[in-house]
Amino acid sequence: MSKLASEEAEKLTELLEKEFDLYEQIHKLTKTQTQLLDKDDIDAFNNSLDKRAQLIEKIKGLHQESEPLMQSYVSFTKGGGKADAIIEEHQIKIKELIKGCAKLNDENIATMTEKTKEHTKKIDEQRAKGKTIGGYAQSVPNIPEVFDKKT
């Protein structure tokens, strides 16, 4: 492997390590989001989503930087050396983390959908009770003299 190819492989490995670390953080945040949904802590859940969006932006930046190196690496330098094994290992780990995050996201979406249905049902029940109370309130006269006589 030439010196240039070796430097590119090193840089690519470094970028993939950073990307892997960011995906690990996303995975941890996604697990935390599951717990926050269980607690119905929507504010903390939303903050967690904002943090995850920031991490995704960082990953996009790293990916833009690593993409040309990856294309160069795949096209010219792939030769089965130590760098190849490290780069391939990072790619596999990243793919596994992405799959794990996707699975947790699907579970969180299902949980959030169920909770939304529950909350909607409770709101509808409250609305129905409010209409019933409104019916009773109309039968009570709302005349100031009535209230003055009773006091």
Domain ranges of the chain: 3-111
Nearest to 34 by CA among 100, 114, 108: 108
d(CA 60, CA 66): 10
> Under DSSP, is residue 151 helix (H, G, I), strand (E, B) or coil?
coil
Give pLDDT, residue 102. Answer: 93
pLDDT along the chain (151 residues), means of 10: 68 90 94 91 92 94 85 64 78 92 93 88 81 59 57 50
Nearest to 38 by CA among 133, 110, 100: 110
Q: Are 27 and 103 in contact (CB under 8 A)?
A: no
Total-model pTM: 0.71
- From first CA to last CA, the distance across the chain in angstroms is 98
